[in-house]
Structure 1
Amino acid sequence: MAAVTLKDVAERAGVSIKTVSNVVRGIPRVSEATRSRVARAVDELGYRPNPSARRLRTGRSGLVALVVPDLATPYFAELAHHVRAEATSLGLTVLIEESLGDAAEELRLAGGVGASLLDGVILSPLRATPDELAGVTDDFPLVLLGERSYGRDRVVADHVLIDNVAAARDITSHLIGLGRTRIAAIGVDHQGSATSRQRLEGHQQALHAAGLPFDPGLAPRVEEFDRRNGLLAMRALASLPAGERPDAVFCFSDLLAVGAQRALHEAGLAVPGDVAVAGIDGSQEALYSTPSLTTVVPDKAAIASLAVKCLAARIRSRTPLPFEVHVAPHWLEERESTLGARRAVRP
């Protein structure tokens, strides 16, 4: 059976080929009635865009990749949802890849290797260094996510992030404002990641501003930002003598906080009565945990929008654009794990 073409769809819908092309690429200059008619024709005929043909015609495939460390992490899964939605609105199709935090895989995907039809990549690297990335990105559209620092004179890319130091400072200040004075920090990692360093810095800044000391004994190291490491770290803290035990804990991810809450439950300690718990990520898991989790919410929709629009601009540009940093907003959601009072969940 011959492949269905734009012309076939146009004839079925009773519109021009250009109109079908606009609808397929997500260009908004089409009425809703016409868009519905074209979409119906596409479904009836089973039309599928041909990236190879598009690249031959325009020099672009319309395919981009989002590379994240781990799709099992709610933050990255939710971010991928927003990236796909934003890309669709611009007529782009997103391929989603997991690097599993492997530097070689991050570098391979950063330059589009292994996916020759890609127009560009949005990458959240954990292990690849700025120098390594500089060697593979000069001629390929790239947008970086995450809180690492990249030299403007080395990496040709946009960098989209939140202010991690401010976010950590905000949440520790919230705990201090509730009268907590022994505030633990779960998330100092063995890898010395930029995210961990920045969140620890913001935590320490808030303590210093309030005249409270930072106790390294209340900052156990973790291997990963996951539930298991949160559980193990909080078990160690909960086993401290009553006078040395923390009365609050700032976890560097929502998953760490969920694990910490489980450890406190096992130890017979009330949240937040005995120990207030807060996280950062703004995940759906935080909203529906028991008690619901106070967390810093990075604006994932804004991060996705900035990343996709920056990538689209780089794809359109005939010459490499200069390195730019784009800071997305964040805010604090105060919930039961620090406030205590039962509040209705707002989905």
Structure 2
Amino acid sequence: MSSPPSPGAERAGEASVRIGALVPLTRPGWVEAGRSLLAGLELAVRDVNEAGGILGKPLELVVRDTAADPRSAAAAVDELARQGVAALAGEYHSVVARTAAARADALGLPFLCSSAVLDALTDRPTDWVARLAPAQSHGWRIYADFLLGAGHSRIAVATEPSVYWASGTRILRDHLAARGGTVIDLDMRTLAPTAVPDELVESRATALLLLVGYPEPAVSIVQAVRRDRRLAGIMIGAPAGQPEFAGWTTSLGDDGAAIPFLRYLPERLSPLGARVEAALRERLAGTPSFIAFEGYDTVAVLAEVLRSGGADRARTAESWPRVAVEGTRGEIRFSCQPGISVWQWAWAPTQIVDRDPARPDRFRILHST
């Protein structure tokens, strides 16, 4: 990977070291995910400052709402770069993170992406961008193997137009086809949710994956399928994690249970992870999502980098291969991975979980790596 020239070093006279945070906090962004991510970022900033800050200066988070809009994200990156932030953090939506990463690369501004999983986060290899979340191809192949192991080889995917959904469909199709599986496309641009059950019966699919937006049309599709007696035995899955937050249960009740999704947590948290979980639970007034842990780990990594090299942007970009930080979910190191254009933590612990039908407010771990 090659680096463009550094835009300059730390501004010595500034009273704080600032990190720009990109977070979806308003619709059409996934607001629950954004709030969870921000909670983790803010908690880590508090912990860093209580431990003495960065080279004697407090760490400051400068938050910008992307609202799941790539243009808003690009404008925010430009603004934060002009304001002199030392680095960028955050973002949940893959398409938005991709735009932010491209702009950060062009400006020479280090960006540690917290949660977006799209493999092609940038069009070219870059030293300016690193990522904590596993690449989509990694997690979704694990999910595909889980489906096969559960006896599902004819799998329908309800999809909407998106680079992210198209990438996910391609990963599933390629991985399953090589193992005797079949993927059946249900284009939700032309199908109403109420028409999905007939398509499933006709195609003889034994599993349906929700590669669509939340709450709609995901909620309506689940309701239509659950209420059709012909489909009592079909499995509904959501690899992108739509059932992760409490709003899913609020919308669907018992219908939202037993829908497996990917979650990036270990089976057992370390002492650090357990302490952070307790603090996040208090801050969020409920069980924290893995996305909050991603936010915390993002700041923990950036703080360590900034302590070592100051707020010089070029030094930060050069430091990714030397990072070794104990995060909430294990030791974080970055490396170059085939097909991934940014520095990647390979890999965060991965689980497949669902909501327990007996207690939809609780999760069951179905598979763990």
TMscore range, shorter length:
0.5 to 0.7
Matched, 1:329 2:345: no
State the superposition RMSD in angstroms.
3.6
Larger Rg: 1
Question: Alignment partner for residue 121 of structure 1, among 69, 88, 100?
Answer: 88
- Alignment partner for residue 98 of structure 1, among 65, 70, 73? 65
1:13-162 correspondence runs (5 A): 59-72=14-27, 73=30, 74-91=32-49, 92-113=59-80, 116=83, 118-124=85-91, 126-127=95-96, 128=99, 131-136=102-107, 138=108, 140-145=109-114, 146=116, 147=118, 148-150=120-122, 153-154=125-126, 156-162=128-134
User: Which residue pairs with 1:290 in the alignment?
Assistant: 254
Kept in 2: contact 1:158–1:310 (CA 8 A): no
User: Where in structure 2 are there 5+ consecutive unaligned residues?
Assistant: 1-9, 50-58, 265-289, 321-342, 364-369
1:236 alignment counterpart: 195
Cα 1:300–1:181, aligned 2, differ >3 Å: closer, same or farther? same
Match of 2:145 in 1: 173
Q: Is the 8 A contact 2:249 2:361 kept in 1?
A: yes
Under a length normalisation based on structure 2, what TM-score does the superposition of the two structures give?
A: 0.60
Query: 1:258 aligned to 212, 219, 223, which one?
Result: 219
Aligned match of 1:277: 236
Identity of aligned residues (%): 13
SS in 1 for 2:303: helix
**Distance in 1 between residues matched to 2:222 and 2:13, nearest whole Å:** 53
Distance 1:237 1:66 in 2: 39
Cα contact 1:141–1:314 (8 A) shared by 2: no
Aligned pair in 2 of structure 1 residues 165, 241: CA closer, same or farther (>3 Å)?
closer
Structure 2 equivalent of residue 303 of structure 1: 294
Q: Which has the higher contact order (CA 8 A, sep 6+)?
A: 2
Question: Do the aligned residues in 2 keep the contact of 1:130 with 1:155 (CA within 8 Å)?
Answer: no
Distance 2:294 2:43 in 1: 12
Return the alpha-carbon distance in structure 1 between the equivalents of residues 188 and 358 of structure 2: 32
Distance 1:239 1:121, change over 3 A: same
Query: Displacement of 1:133 after TM fit?
Result: 3.6
Contact 2:254 2:360 in 1 (8 A): no
Aligned length: 272
Change (3 A) 1:121 1:272: farther
Out of 205, 211, 219, which is 2:180 matched to? 211
Structure 2 residue aligned with 1:23: none
**Where in structure 1 are there 5+ consecutive unaligned residues?**
1-54, 223-228
3-state SS, counterpart of residue 329 of structure 1: coil
Segment drifting more, 55-64 vs 66-75: 55-64
Residue 331 of structure 1 and its aligned partner are, at CA, apart by 0.8
**Counterpart of 2:278?**
none
Q: Which moved more, 1:314-323 or 1:83-92?
A: 314-323
CA distance in 2, matches of 1:257, 1:164: 20
CA contact (8 A) 1:64 1:121 kept: yes
Shift of 1:200: 1.8
Can you list the C-alpha shifts for 1:123-169, whole angstroms capped at 9, x where unaligned?
43625275544222x1x443234223336654523223223223223
